[in-house]
Copies of this chain bind each other. A is one copy, B any other.
């Protein structure tokens, strides 16, 4: 058996502790599979004294994470600090610069600085691995870089944020409001104290950036990504969708349209009885379409100590086995193209619209005329009168239409005197 793979871990939150737990608990199994032992040599985190439920006594303690890269006894640094800058970035730059392999779970850092870091890794001839950065329980980075490498990829999309999916699932099951369910999720530790990254779709956008780069051979480009989260989704939208046979999911979508990439993060309606519709709670799902493999879908836990740590250790086993010849984003950095972004307005799909209008004669005729004027034909219109004295909700499902036309139509509807609230517009995605 070869020499052990010597690693240093920076960041000992739930994922870092999980990595150590796997490496300790499965030391022999991993050695058998990898052909060598994986030994933790040094660790670094903010607070030394904290009880993390794992025995750290055998490892050197390093105060400042970037100092791990100064050591001469490490083959790999594992970056589990998080954040798109600061110590995480400093550590990876220093390690790769020195020719130490790196494993990271940091989607924000990679979405913003992935290209520069990949160049450093390539120059040093060492791997930069990040399976844990996207949907920990689903080996989607490996699938895109290796499993589907024979394909021209046409589309990659999915449910990439477990917190949002948990909130949407609970809202549907209980009929409660977004704010109410978010509060509970925070109390239970499922959502962060500042939930912005999750619920506004930013975390999904970071992950989608990496998937786009891998799928289409382009530089990760976070700036060009239109993002809409779930904080404005109402219990009414969810029950409307359910009555029509759909569930609302926050999707990250990246697909090729007329040779350009359309990339967006937004809540969509998906058929409740589809495989994607059946993905509930904190589960993630990623859908891939390739020219030869056709369509594939993978479902697994997106977050949590176990699944994320499992992905980190899989990367370490790859490195231990000498599996280090895969370019960071699937092709060498100098082959990564600047993405040509298409206009989401060109996307054609069916849409869900809901609006609250005054219950006056002719309102439905006005709305229908607006749809007709924008060349949008309607599959279903539901007027749900609850109380003749009050405004009434109208739900419309369109046939396939260009997003730009739908957006223009909904703006005209919003401008009607009879429209009393901002209408809601969501794409229907079928799988």
Contact = CB atoms under 8 A, between A and B. Distances in A.
Contact of A300 (B277, B296, B310, B322): B296
Interface in A1-51: 18, 22, 26, 29-30, 32-35
A57 to B, nearest CB: 23
A301 B295 contact: yes
Interface residues of A, number: 65
B147 A314 contact: yes
Interface stretch (A170-178, A260-268, A286-294, A342-350): A286-294
A297 B296 contact: no
Contacts of A217: 32
A237 interface: no
Contacts of A312: 150
Contacts of A146: 139, 142, 314, 317-318, 323
A327 interface: yes
A224 interface: no
Interface stretch (A84-92, A104-112, A329-337): A329-337
A221 interface: no
A277 B310 CA distance: 27
A310 B150 contact: yes
A152 B18 contact: no
Contact of A142 (B142, B293, B322, B327): B142
Given A147-B139, A147-B142, A314-B146, A152 B26 contact: yes
Contacts of A143: 139, 142-143, 147
A297 B300 contact: yes
A156 interface: no
Interface in A342-372: none
17 contacts: A32-B217, A33-B327, A35-B332, A131-B147, A137-B293, A139-B139, A139-B146, A139-B147, A139-B148, A143-B143, A149-B317, A150-B310, A150-B311, A292-B309, A293-B301, A321-B325, A323-B323
Interface of A: 18, 22, 26, 29-30, 32-35, 131, 136-139, 142-143, 146-152, 217, 272-275, 277-279, 290-301, 304, 306-307, 309-314, 316-318, 321-323, 325-327, 330-332, 335
Top 4 nearest A-B pairs (CB, nearest first) are A139-B147, A150-B313, A296-B300, A292-B306
